[in-house]
Chains A and B, each alone.
Chain A
């Protein structure tokens, strides 16, 4: 299964080019140009990794991040920063973002980070699944809860 990536940035040219490049590298890429749009898409679909620009018109990166962590806590976020906002990227990491990258970034770096983030998420989900399995084994009725 392809890794599902949501790319959030207000620069359309940048987003389109990067999306296409990631698609070529076998990622399932969805694009959002604004924070609100990104959150809408997050509510509708599940993503593995969100690549989030820190500074955007409307809701800015850090707010989007806390919203993501609220509605989809398992989704990993990589902060992307284009200017003197390394601090806000660090701030974002304190709020649970996986890592940050400074624009312009090496595609290979980005790919590596996406993969790692995905691995982390996958591992996390795996553990949740294991826990659920244990729960179901110990109390089969629990399986009905989700259904």
Chain B
């Protein structure tokens, strides 16, 4: 992930190179992680929790609503059906009570009653039959020829005689048309029971049920207690087919339960046993369809959650990265300035040490010088040993060494001297050319190409001429030492931060190794020891730059060259005393 990479990169240098000796050492990655985790946790956990609770609550509400609606449909439909059946049952009861067995045996009378029933009750009644106690159909009116049929062996006949009433399942019977039968018991004057039997077509049920619009691909149908469909259903099979659903347990009220369809889809099943009939009214809905409005709302919730989470995360990551980066930069700045102060202090104490060492050594050195000189004088003026080249050589050796030691002590003194700065206006270009004047001969001899480029907008500097020249001389001298014959030295300068001037002296010489680079300003650190280097040049340069209120910075790559950047203020106010 590019973002991760980016963050890692911004803290990486620190992990690779922890600043040595710094007490302000932080693990910025840890801080960052902590900040992100804390703020992220505090803001995201409540958000996710609330959303989850909301989600669940809404789902629950919609489910209850769905169950409630299903219950309502089942109850209402059940009422209609039971009313329909009861109405017809009551009508038959009325007929039985209003007519005698004998009058019902009259074919005209019965057909008139059937006509009246059809007229006053609308659809439903198909035929009427009167069955005597022996089970013989004594009279029959209707479209089928069922007169004289014997029902004595049939179960329903016995049931009517026992309980006075019977409502059959829907069946095909002799007629090959789905119908159901309602039978009521009557009493003849002689006290013998008889049965009035009416066949009802199922069409009114079917019309009633098919007119119901039930949401969620709902289906309304009836089954009997054996689970055989009594009316055709839309999705669960035709009449007389066995329903695949288990027959629900008998309950006095409307019940809603969940089940599985043939394709393993979730179903909502509402049912009710219709009183005094063998029918169970069932409403079956597909849960998925019913929950459609819910899934839409749920989706909105989830999208909202995702968008908020990503916005929050982006903001947290952004601010954390920004802040930790700021902290890191501040720490680095502080550490750098501490380092600088430390370094300046170190240089100052080294300077004092150098001065006192030089001082203490100079006096005995002067004595050695004079004594050796005296010996030489004796030889020369006395003439005794003047011809002895060995003794003269020894004395000269002492004198040369003293001279060499003297050079070193003198440089040490230079390093720590604190001359009063004399500030004067200086044209940088002139100053550089003047310094190059000292080196012109050597440059010519070694064919070193020097390129000077001083920007036009550099104002006149007000600083110590002597120190500036000494600085330039030392650095350029080093560059000369570093480049091989025919090398290049590039001197440029530009305005920096309005009130500073940067002088950049770059060469393409041998370069300085990374380990040496951090030590170059230390006194007596020299890679040319034994070849005349004292290791004081850059130390002196460093303190000179400090004295005129500037800073010096070196970059180098072994074999490619070195680049010194000296930044000095245009107006030198800070002078070391």
Q: Given the interface contacts A104-B369, A104-B406, does A11 sit within 8 Å of B363 by beta carbon?
A: yes
Q: How far is the CB of B313 from chain A (nearest CB, A)?
A: 65
Decide if B406 touches A87 in the complex (CB within 8 Å): no
B366 touches A11 (CB 8 A): yes
Contacts of A145 in B (CB 8 A): none
Residue count of chain B within 8 Å CB distance of chain A: 26
User: Is A86 close to B, CB under 8 A?
Assistant: yes
Which A residues, 8 to 30, have Cβ-Cβ distances below 8 Å to chain B?
Answer: 11, 13-14, 17-18, 20-21, 24-25
Bound-complex Cα distance A102 to B365 (A) = 11
Residue of A nearest to B380 (CB): A24
Within 8 A of A (CB), among B219-261: none
Interface pair B402/A104, CB less than 8 Å apart? yes
**B358 contacts A by Cβ under 8 Å:** yes
Closest residue of chain B to A10, judged by CB? Answer: B363
A21 touches B370 (CB 8 A): yes
List the A residue with the shortest CB-CB distance to B412: A84
Q: A118 to B282: give the CA distance in the assembly, Å.
A: 141
When the two chains form their complex, are residues A17 and B373 in contact, meaning their CB atoms are under 8 A apart? yes
A117 to chain B, nearest CB (A): 19
- Whether A87 and B366, one on each chain, are in contact in the complex, defined by CB atoms closer than 8 angstroms, is no
Which of chain A's residues have a CB closer than 8 A to the CB of B371?
Answer: 13, 17
Most chain B beta carbons < 10 A, residue from A21, A87, A106:
A21
Give the one of A13, A83, A84, A87 with max B CB within 10 A: A84
Contact A86 B370 (CB under 8 A): no
> Is A2 interfacial (CB-CB < 8 Å)?
no
Additional A-B contacts beyond A17-B374, A83-B359, A86-B417 (19; CB < 8 A): A11-B366, A11-B367, A14-B366, A14-B370, A17-B370, A17-B371, A17-B373, A18-B370, A20-B374, A84-B358, A84-B416, A103-B362, A104-B365, A104-B366, A104-B369, A104-B402, A105-B366, A105-B369, A107-B373
- Write 11 A-B pairs (CB below 8 A) sorted by A numbering: A21-B370, A82-B363, A84-B355, A84-B359, A86-B417, A102-B406, A103-B362, A104-B368, A104-B403, A104-B405, A105-B369
Across the A-B interface, the 8 shortest Cβ-Cβ residue pairs: A83-B359, A17-B370, A104-B369, A103-B366, A104-B366, A82-B362, A13-B367, A14-B367
Question: Which residues in A have some Cβ–Cβ distance to B below 8 Å?
Answer: 11, 13-14, 17-18, 20-21, 24-25, 82-84, 86-87, 102-107
